[in-house]
Amino acid sequence: MGMTMTEKILARNAGLAAVEPGQLIKCKVDLVLGNDITSPPAIKEFNKIGRPIFDREKIVLVPDHFTPNKDIKSAEMAKTVREFAKQHEIVNYFEVGRMGIEHVLLPEVGLVAPGDVIIGADSHTCTYGAVGAFATGVGSTDMGAAMATGDTWFKVPSAIKVELTGVLPKWVTGKDVILTLIGMIGVDGARYQSLEFTGEGLASLTMTDRLTIANMAIEAGAKNGIFPVDAVTRAYIKGRVSKSFEEVEADADAVYAQVVTIDLNQLVPVVALPHLPENVRKVAEVPETTIDQVIIGSCTNGRIEDLEQAAQIMAGRSVHPVVRAIIIPGSQGVYLEAMQRGFIETFIKAGAVVSTPTCGPCLGGHMGILAAGERAVATTNRNFRGRMGHVDSEVYLSGPYVAAASAVLGRIATPEEVLA
């Protein structure tokens, strides 16, 4: 019986000829990731073990959630991570000024590669499936143990095959693809399963689209999301990834628990209404909904292509007088390129504010917290009640085109309404 992409990667790192869904295995890990919130408790557990770190080049620490530090508590957490990195000579520690949002930064600097097994104490670690890796979020205790042992355990997930056909239409992005999928199967539709994306439609998806889609696999309850390695992948990792790696592809007779088909030709810009990512509606069919804030950024949509889409809508226009528009580049590299290409000037002239790279408002941390009764359109990944601030606030999820158009018109809007 054939194996899926995920099964092949897990089998190889477990030293097994084959694995099957439901099997409990112990795997070597190629990368262990933590941030300023999840690393301190992981460090505490690591210190109880009494062993050295397994590999100072395979642990990545990125303080990105509450940094630059918003208060004394967050400063103490960041200090814990900084001192641990110094003590153990962690090669891939990213200080303020060099850091970025972790799931934007790691692919950008080439730390994730096809065939890798990557765990991170952050649920959106599944982002790296975009480059053909098995990547998933774990708890801080598992992170702490893995920093000492270099391995962890998994229950092998069954897989859902997501077959993409057609070509993405104008104004439709990877965010619309993943929101459409979540709207189809629900936030628990892929619970502890692998979402494996295939089909001729992949050819029209950029790496930014794929990173966005893989990032939100967890919003469907998935253990991971993964894409096959193709010409788009190879072009992206060329010049970035310097370590050796081994690509995998699913066997022709791989077994899937379910097959979902999405015709990209039929997609339109969508938005997820509060308070779940599965509450997906076509933007054109959403009743007039005024907003107070727009967030463009996050590990889901903070890459240069995302900012380019937003700038395309905002160029020569102004943010609506009642809207606060906050732009957050996903890394210092993205920030610099956006500045060189004139996007930052476009945003500032339009009346938006541009932040240093940070997770910030996505998790209700800082840089854009909502008050009671306020509404935001955000390119982030979650819109749970209270996610971005007060429990009586509302978050509507969209891609950059829709978010930028909404910022200009002061209500949820399509890009065509702005450019007409």
> Do residues 247 and 317 both lie within one domain?
no
Same domain, 224 and 313: no
Residues of the chain with pLDDT under 70: none
What pLDDT shows up at residue 345? 98
Whether 149 and 105 share a structural domain: yes
Q: Tell me what pLDDT residue 189 has.
A: 94
215/174 same-domain check: yes
Task: At 84, list the tokens.
Answer: 């641990």
Q: What is the DSSP string of 347-358?
A: HHHHT-EEPPS-
The Cβ-side half-sphere exposure at 98, using a 13 Å CA radius, reads: 7
Contacts of 316 (CB under 8 A, 6+ apart): none
Residues 318 and 352 reside in one and the same domain: yes
Pair (195, 280) in one structural domain:
no
Same domain, 281 and 247: no
Final residue of a domain: which of 212, 242, 263? Answer: 263
Please give the pLDDT value at position 225.
98
pLDDT tens column, 235-294: 999 999 999 999 999 999 999 999 999 999 999 999 999 999 999 999 999 999 999 999
Tell me how many domains the chain contains.
Answer: 2
β-pairing, 270-272 vs 258-263, is unpaired
Q: Are residues 248 and 293 in the same domain?
A: no
b/e burial code for range 358-391 (CB count within 10 A of at least 16 → b)? bbbbbebbbbbbbeeebbbbbbbbbbeeebbbee
Q: Which spans in 71-203 are helix H?
A: 72-87, 102-108, 140-149, 174-185
The reported pLDDT for the residue numbered 420 is 72
What is the structure's pLDDT at 1?
78
Instruction: Say which residue the tokens 């022709």 belong to.
Output: 252
CA distances from 289 to 241, 285, 352, 382, 395 (A): 44, 11, 20, 19, 12
Residues 180 and 36 grouped into a single domain = yes
Asked if residue 176 lies in contact with residue 267, where contact means CB atoms within 8 angstroms, the answer is yes
Provide the domain limits for residue 395. 269-419
Output DSSP code: residue 273: P
**High-pLDDT (> 90) share of the chain, %:** 99
According to DSSP, residue 370 is labeled B
Q: End of a domain among 247, 263, 279?
A: 263
SS3 percent helix, strand, coil of the chain, rounded to 5, is 40, 20, 40
217 and 344 belong to one structural domain:
no
The last residue of one of the domains, among 263, 293, 327, is 263
Asked if 398 and 378 sit in the same domain, the reply is yes
pLDDT, tens digit, 9 for 90 and up, residues 203-246: 999 999 999 999 999 999 999 999 999 999 999 999 999 999 99
Q: Could you tell me which of 83, 78, 80 has the C-alpha nearest to residue 97? A: 78
Q: Tell me the pLDDT tens digit for each residue of 375-394.
A: 999 999 999 999 999 999 99
Q: 253 with 362, same domain? A: no
CA atoms within 13 A on the CB side of 284: 7
Whichever domain contains 254, its CATH number is 3.30.499.10
Whole-prediction pTM: 0.95
